[in-house]
């Protein structure tokens, strides 16, 4: 049995991490039985979620989880795609994970109004006297990570300017297709769908949300894939973009 370590639902989403949602969609796509466990963060092999325990084998990182499933279970997430299509799919996936992600992270953690409604809730179970200290410490670490990546060195306006083309590229490429690469789901949908669901999360006021909400095909894609992979969350926030 596979155990997927998650944060659990927050903000009307199946998970506050798009990478955790991705890992869960991959398990669903491959039709593998799994259970989720929200108690694994402190033991995370790389200090991040998601990771899985597959019969004693620990795999930490959503892409390594994908490659593990492909290798161990012989499931090809990109079956039916040509080599150039596989390349395009990979590039879209990494654009979301290594570019768009950082602007979204900044909008949630560094903008007080969003932070107070969102990530601050992660610390509700910390002992009250220590809570402000823990919050400040973790927030400082997120700021350092944003700086290290480079996205955090830009102004908000510059960040928005940098990632708006990511959204437009996804919307233009998706066009009226049901899934990013065509008529059937493929590996890239396991990433792009969670990122669109996060971008559209109605709790947070962000330029990314405005930009994504303007593209009706992205909203429809989010709604369609949420209904398919996380039906319990399909209604939440659907009407507000």
Determine, following the binding rule CB under 6 A, whether residue 17 of this chain makes contact with ligand GSH. Answer: yes
DSSP-assigned letter for residue 100: I
* Nearest distance, CB of residue 192 and ligand GSH, angstroms: 14
| Kind plus residue range of the DSSP H or E element containing 205 | none
Distance CA 199, CA 103 (A): 10
Reference 124, options 8, 235, 240; nearest CA is 8
Closest CA to 188 of 65, 66, 12, 15: 66
Among 4, 21, 26, 49, binds ligand GSH (CB under 6 A): 49
Total of residues contacting ligand GSH (CB under 6 A): 9
Assess 48 for contact with ligand GSH (CB under 6 A). Answer: yes
Q: Which residues pair with 36 in a beta bridge?
A: 4
CB atoms within 10 A of CB 165: 14
CA dist., res. 213 & res. 168, Å (int): 11
47 scored as a contact of ligand GSH (CB under 6 A): yes
Stretch that binds ligand GSH, among 41-49, 68-76, 114-122, 146-154 (CB under 6 A): 41-49
Q: Among residues 25, 30, 59, 61, which is the contact residue for ligand GSH, using CB under 6 A? A: 61
CB atoms inside a 10 Å sphere around CB 51: 24
Q: Does 114 bind ligand GSH (CB under 6 A)?
A: no
62 binds ligand GSH, rule: CB under 6 A:
yes
Report, in Å, the least distance between residue 9 CB and ligand GSH: 14
Residue 40 sits in the site that holds ligand GSH (CB under 6 A) = no
* Chain positions contacting ligand GSH, by CB under 6 A: 17, 19, 47-50, 61-63
């Amino acid at each position: 049995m596979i155990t997927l370590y998650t944060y659990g639902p927050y903000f009307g989403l199946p998970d506050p991490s798009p990478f955790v949602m991705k890992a869960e969609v991959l398990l669903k796509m491959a039709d593998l039985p799994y259970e989720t466990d929200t108690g694994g963060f402190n033991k995370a092999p790389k200090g991040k979620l998601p990771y899985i325990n597959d019969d004693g084998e620990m795999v930490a990182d959503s892409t390594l989880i994908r490659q593990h499933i492909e290798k161990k279970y012989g499931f090809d997430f990109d079956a039916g795609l040509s080599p150039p299509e596989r390349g395009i799919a990979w590039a879209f996936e990494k654009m979301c994970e290594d570019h768009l992600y950082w602007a979204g992270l900044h909008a949630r953690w560094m903008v007080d109004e969003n932070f107070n409604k969102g990530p601050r809730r992660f610390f509700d179970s910390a002992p009250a006297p220590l809570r402000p200290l823990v919050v400040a410490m973790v927030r400082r670490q997120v700021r350092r990570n944003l700086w290290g990546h480079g996205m955090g060195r830009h102004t908000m306006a510059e960040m928005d300017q940098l990632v708006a083309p990511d959204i437009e590229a996804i919307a233009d490429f998706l066009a009226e297709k049901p899934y990013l690469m065509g008529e059937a789901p493929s590996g890239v949908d396991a990433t792009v769908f969670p990122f669109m669901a996060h971008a559209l999360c109605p709790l947070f006021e962000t330029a990314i949300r405005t930009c994504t909400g303007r593209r009706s095909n992205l909203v429809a894609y989010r709604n369609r894939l949420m209904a398919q992979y996380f039906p319990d969350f399909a209604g939440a926030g659907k009407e507000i973009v």
